[in-house]
Amino acid sequence: MRRALRLCAAVAGALALAAGCGSGATADRAADGGGAGGAETVRIFAAASLQQPFEELGERFEAEHEGVELEFNFAGSSTLVEQIQQGAPADVFASADEATMDALVDAGLQEAPPVELTTNTLMIAVPAGNPAGVTDLASLEAEGLHLVVCARAVPCGAATAEVEEAAGLELAPVSEEQSVTDVLNKVTTGEADAGLVYTTDVRSAGEAVEGIAFPEAQDAVNVYPITTVAGAGHTDLGAQFVDLVTGEQGQQVLAAHGFGGR
């Protein structure tokens, strides 16, 4: 059965990463490949915003590969790269932007050249009913508004900085989160009056939030790349998963969840 994990997702720094995810040796990534009942475990590290389509595609993949189990680790892209650099076992890595994938490539940890997977754009998320009366990006500067965004080190935060600059605004968030799902959670629970998340996150939240589009989002379209990881225990199976999600079936599922085309 497919397992979805948040492997070391709350890691705050290199020391905690080392303690929770092991050393940086490539051999450590390949050593632990066994799943429950002798199944081969293929570990997929993916941006948090990809959780719903990847889990759906994971079910298809397992149905077509007897004796194979996919183990997902969904978190902020920068956190995932740090985990891989510290030796966490991963067969596939999918990032929410190209800059974070470049960090993996610069460390020589890619098995194959990254390929474009999909695209995504930002949207303002507000709690159902929009109690703070948010109307557009400029209204996020309103005094007393509790705004939550992603930290600039993660892709959704980098995109936020781009749209902020494009609009000539100086936003003052009350907190900066390490993943887009953390931002969305603060909006859905009412801890925040508004948050900047991906269009797909607003869609996945259903009636819990309302989405407000803004034109500046087109100045920061995120391209999601994907690749297999060097030294992984299941390179061939990892490559087959990459083929699935970048192929026709995968693109249809991603589009159904609101992602853009390649």
pLDDT digits (tens, 9 = 90+) for 25-64: 344 444 455 555 567 999 999 999 999 999 999 999 999 9
Q: Output the pLDDT for position 10.
A: 38
Percent of the chain with pLDDT over 90: 84
Mean pLDDT for the stretch of residues 108-119 = 97
Mean pLDDT for the stretch of residues 116-122 = 97
- The answer on whether 139 is annotated among ligand-binding residues is no
Residues 55 and 127 in one domain: no
| Separation between Cα atoms, residue 167 and residue 219, nearest integer Å | 10
| 261 in any annotated domain | no
* Residue 7, pLDDT above cutoff 80: no
Confidence of residue 9 (pLDDT cuts 50, 70, 90): very low
Residues 109 and 229 in one domain: yes
Residues 34 and 97 in one domain: yes
| 48 in any annotated domain | yes
* Residue 11, pLDDT above cutoff 60: no
| 262 in any annotated domain | no
How do residues 72-104 score in pLDDT, each as one tens digit? 999 999 999 999 999 999 999 999 999 999 999
| 143 in any annotated domain | yes
pTM: 0.83
- The answer on whether 198 is annotated among ligand-binding residues is yes
| 18 in any annotated domain | yes
- The answer on whether 49 is annotated among ligand-binding residues is yes
The CATH code of the domain that includes 97 is: 3.40.190.10
The two structure tokens encoding residue 150: 């992603």
Q: Output the pLDDT for position 39.
A: 78
| 9 in any annotated domain | yes
* Residue 202, pLDDT above cutoff 90: yes
* Residue 17, pLDDT above cutoff 60: no
Name, in order, each residue with C-beta under 8 angstroms of 210's C-beta and a sequence gap of 6 or more: 125, 126, 127, 128, 129, 130, 202
Q: Output the pLDDT for position 262.
A: 78
Phi/psi for 132 (5° steps) reads -85, -5
How far is the first Cα of the chain from the last one, in angstroms, to the nearest whole number? 30
* Residue 227, pLDDT above cutoff 80: yes
Question: CB of 71 within 8 A of CB of 51?
Answer: no
Q: Output the pLDDT for position 232.
A: 87
How do residues 140-177 score in pLDDT, each as one tens digit? 999 999 999 999 999 999 999 999 999 999 999 999 99
